[in-house]
Amino acid sequence: MKVAFPIQIDKGLESEVYNHFGTAETFFIVDSETGAGEAFGNADSKHIHGQCQPLAALNGAVVDAIVVGGIGKGALKKLTGAGIRSYKAVAGTVGENLDLFKSGKLVMFPANHDCGGHGKDGGCAH
């Protein structure tokens, strides 16, 4: 399974998971079975709040799931419509969240989840 993690600085599995999908500078995609990963820039990072194009942000990468600290309702709806599940990350690294994901300990964002805007650290301002 391919899992995407929004990050700011690429340190592989040691990268800190970023707090907000749409404004992440980079995505790190990991194969949950092999642990192999690759980072690439967010092609949609300069969008107006509420106008995120999550599939464009992923640069055409095919993923099964997203693990992120926060995500807006529009991006969540578009990802869900594309068959991509979105999970709430815990504070920590890609590797730590990947382990939690694989063990079924991360919670999926509910369909009615709504981000109230970007906070000072880039996270959701709920």
**37 touches 29 (CB < 8 A):** yes
Tens of pLDDT, residue by residue over 30-58, are: 999 999 999 988 866 554 555 555 666 77
Give the number of other CB atoms < 10 A from CB of residue 6: 29
pTM of the model: 0.84
**What does the block give as tokens for 71?**
């995500």
Tens of pLDDT, residue by residue over 55-114, are: 667 778 899 999 999 888 888 888 899 999 999 999 899 999 999 999 999 999 987 766
Topology (CATH) of 2-102:
Nucleotidyltransferase; domain 5 (3.30.420)
